């Protein structure tokens, strides 16, 4: 009994000594700034910065090979703290949010054919340029939903992707994956959008969609400062909009494609936006 205890005890001591020596000898030196940066970064490993995960971005930041303003999910707060750690001056970029520019759901937009196959928008887009007659509308198969690391996207009852504006961090991954570019980043402060992505003429739009922008220019005539035409598609001039006149244009839009995503009580708005940090991993 005693012999066994002494044996094991001394063995343990020797092993501990060896481990302690090994820890000294083979210690990996990490820049303390990298550890600090890891604390600061959003921790979602979303890849929006272009690096495979937050760790890689932190390493690149310390090495000086990456710009400090690439962590979109972190926002202004993270940017400020990164700048403090690295001791550099940065200018804050206005926060952005993804907007889904389409209202043509299953009831509103006519299908081109019945699609049965891989539930992926990019795969569907390859078959005769997508199962909807509209060449620019949301296909609703949810490639963006799968890609979003923050759970900010979902497919709603209309069969359209829906951005949860509270959870969206503006990382832009959904924008990159959408084969029809129907998702785009817009300033987070803007709430009024023309929810259509179709640049075709009124005759064509009318033939397949009840809610698409016709290019009638009514909004531009009502509020020339706030709207601008791109081919047959009206767009809000972000940063220059005058809400009072825009409200009138919204009233006059024949297909009601100008929406105020806040006031309309649209289901794209959550009443109490939870912070993005809380849902760090999907």
Residues of the shown chain interacting with other proteins in the complex, contacts defined by CB under 8 A = 112-114, 116-118, 120, 122-123, 126-129
Q: Which two tokens stand for residue 277?
A: 């940090």
Closer residue to other proteins in complex, CB, 67/126: 126
Question: At closest approach, how far in Å is the CB of 63 from other proteins?
Answer: 23
Write down the least CB distance from residue 165 to other proteins, Å: 26
Cα dihedral: 15, 20, 21, 23 (round 10): 120
- Beta carbons within 8 Å of 144's beta carbon, 6+ residues apart: 121, 153, 161, 173, 174, 177, 178, 183
State in angstroms the smallest separation of the CB of 127 from other proteins. 6
Q: 142-175 in b/e burial notation, b at 16+ Cβ within 10 A?
A: bbbbebbbbebbebeebbbbbbbbbbbbbbbbbb
- Of 88 and 113, which CB lies nearer to other proteins in the complex structure? 113
Nearer to other proteins, 107 or 113 (CB): 113
CA distance to 1, 12, 88, 249, 275, per residue, from 9 (Å): 12, 5, 53, 84, 51
Find the shortest distance in angstroms from Cβ 166 to other proteins.
27
At residue 105's C-alpha, the angle toward residues 99 and 109, to 5°, is 115
Q: Which is nearer to other proteins, 113 or 201 (CB)?
A: 113
Residue 114 beta carbon to other proteins: minimum distance, rounded to whole angstroms = 8
Q: How far is the CB of 67 from other proteins (least distance, A)?
A: 22
CB of 116 to other proteins, least distance (A): 6
Please state whether beta strands 161-163 and 153-155 pair in parallel, antiparallel, or not at all (unpaired): antiparallel
Nearer to other proteins, 204 or 279 (CB): 204
| Cβ proximity to other proteins, 43 vs 179, nearer residue | 179
CA-CA-CA-CA torsion for 176, 178, 182, 187, nearest 10 degrees? -30
Q: What angle do CA 171, 268, 197 make, to 5 degrees?
A: 70
DSSP 8-class letter at 277? G
**Both tokens of residue 63?**
């090495």
Considering the complex, state which of residue 30 and residue 128 has its C-beta at the smaller distance from other proteins: 128
């Amino acid at each position: 009994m005693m012999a066994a205890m002494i044996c094991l005890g001394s063995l343990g001591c020797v092993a501990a000594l060896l481990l302690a020596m090994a820890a000294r000898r083979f210690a990996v030196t990490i820049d303390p700034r990298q550890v600090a940066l890891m604390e600061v970064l959003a921790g979602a490993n979303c890849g929006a910065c272009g690096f495979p995960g937050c760790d890689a971005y932190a390493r690149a930041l310390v090495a000086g090979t990456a710009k400090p303003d690439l962590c979109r999910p972190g926002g202004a707060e993270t940017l400020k703290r990164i700048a403090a750690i690295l001791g550099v001056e940065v200018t804050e970029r206005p926060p952005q949010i993804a907007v889904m520019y389409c209202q043509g759901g299953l009831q509103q937009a006519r299908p081109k054919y019945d699609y049965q196959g891989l539930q992926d928008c990019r795969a569907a887009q390859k078959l005769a340029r997508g199962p909807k007659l509209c060449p620019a509308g949301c296909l609703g198969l949810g490639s963006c939903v799968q890609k979003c690391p923050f759970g900010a996207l979902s497919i709603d009852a209309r069969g359209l992707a829906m951005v949860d504006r509270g959870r969206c961090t503006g990382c832009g991954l959904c924008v990159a994956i959408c084969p029809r570019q129907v998702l785009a980043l817009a300033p987070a402060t803007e709430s009024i959008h023309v929810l259509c992505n179709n640049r075709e003429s009124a005759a064509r739009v009318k033939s397949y969609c009840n809610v698409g922008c016709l290019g009638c220019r009514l909004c531009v005539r009502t509020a020339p400062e706030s709207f601008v035409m791109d081919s047959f598609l009206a767009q809000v001039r972000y940063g220059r909009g005058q809400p009072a006149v825009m409200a009138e244009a919204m009233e006059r839009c024949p297909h009601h494609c100008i929406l105020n995503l806040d006031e309309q009580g649209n289901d794209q708005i959550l009443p109490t936006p939870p912070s993005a940090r809380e849902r760090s991993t999907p």
